[in-house]
Amino acid sequence: MPSSRLILAFLPLATSLHAADPTPPPALPEMTVEGKADSLIGLAPSASKGQTSAAELATRPFLRRGELLEVVPGMTVTQHAGGGKANQYFLRGINLDHGTDFAISIDGLPVNLRTHAHGQGYADLNIVIPELVDSIDYRKGPYFADLGDLSAAGAARFQLTDSLPSGIASVSLGEYGWYRGLLADSISLTTPSNPSAPSSTLTYGLEFNAYDGPWILPENARRWNGLLRWVSSDATDRFALTAMGYDGRWTSSDQIPQRAINQNLVNRFGNLDPSNGGTSSRYSLLADWSRQTDDRGQWHADAFLSRYDLQLFSNFTYFLDDPINGDQFEQSESRWLAGASLRREWLFPFASASSDSSLTAGIDSRADWIDDIGLYKTSARQRLSTTRRDDVTESSAGLFVNADLHFSDWFRLQPGLRADAFLFRTSGPVAANAGSDSAALVSPKLSAIFGPWHQTESYLNAGWGFHSNDARGVLTTIDPVSGSSVLPVDPLVRIFGAELGIRSEALTNWVHSASLWYLHSDSELVYIGDAGTNEAGPSSRRYGLELASYWRPSPALMLDSEFTVSHAAFSDGSDVPNNVPLTWNGGITVGHGDGFFASLRARAFSRRPLEESGRVKSRASLLLNARAGFRRKSWELAVDCLNLLGRNDNDIEYFYDSRLASEPAPVSDRHIHPTEPRMFRVSLTKTW
Q: Is residue 280 part of a domain?
A: no
132: helix, coil or strand? Answer: helix
List Cα–Cα distances, 97 to 53, 101, 112, 528, in angstroms: 26, 9, 12, 12
- C-alpha–C-alpha distance, residues 373 and 377, integer Å: 14
Q: Is residue 330 part of a domain?
A: no
Q: Give residue 29's pLDDT.
A: 39
For residue range 351-364, what is the model confidence (pLDDT) as tens digits?
877 888 999 999 99
- Tell how far CA 335 is from the center of its chain: 20
345: which strand partners? 298, 360
The contacts of residue 237 (CB under 8 Å, 6+ apart) are 198, 289, 290, 291, 292
Q: Is residue 163 part of a domain?
A: yes
Q: Give residue 280's pLDDT.
A: 97
Residue 242 CB neighbour total at 10 angstroms: 22
- C-alpha–C-alpha distance, residues 318 and 427, integer Å: 31
Residues 324-354 as b or e (16 or more Cβ within 10 Å = b): eebbbbbbbbbbebebebebbbbbeebeebe
- C-alpha–C-alpha distance, residues 245 and 128, integer Å: 9
Q: Is residue 590 part of a domain?
A: yes
Q: Give residue 522's pLDDT.
A: 86
| Contact predicate 280/310, CB 8 Å | yes
416: which strand partners? 402, 445
For residue range 187-238, what is the model confidence (pLDDT) as tens digits?
999 887 777 788 999 999 999 999 999 999 999 999 999 999 999 999 899 9
DSSP class of 487: P
Residue 594: which CATH number? 2.40.170.20
Looking at the structure of the chain, the number of domains it has is 1
- H/E run at residue 12: helix 10-17
581: helix, coil or strand? Answer: coil
Q: Is residue 140 part of a domain?
A: yes
- In 209-319, alpha helices (H): 258-262
Residue 133 identity (one-letter amino acid): V
- C-alpha–C-alpha distance, residues 471 and 364, integer Å: 20
315: helix, coil or strand? Answer: coil
Say if residue 484 is exposed, middle or buried (CB neighbours under 10 Å; 0-12, 13-18, 19+): exposed
Positions of the chain with pLDDT under 70: 1-35, 524-536
- C-alpha–C-alpha distance, residues 660 and 316, integer Å: 11
List Cα–Cα distances, 352 to 406, 411, 456, 652, in angstroms: 8, 11, 21, 54
Q: Is residue 463 part of a domain?
A: yes
Q: Is residue 382 part of a domain?
A: yes
Q: Give residue 213's pLDDT.
A: 95
Which domain, by its residues, includes 437? 3-275+286-292+302-323+335-687
Q: Look at the chain and count its residues.
A: 688
Considering Cα of 114, then 115, then 117, then 121, what sign does the dihedral take?
positive
Over the Cα atoms of the chain, what is R_g?
A: 25
Kindly write down the DSSP assignment for every residue of 454-479, as one continuous string. SSEEEEEEEEEEEEEPPHHHHH--B-
For residue range 587-618, what is the model confidence (pLDDT) as tens digits?
999 998 899 999 999 999 999 999 999 999 99
- In 402-528, alpha helices (H): 471-475
Q: Is residue 281 part of a domain?
A: no
The values of phi and psi at residue 260, to 5°, are -70, -35
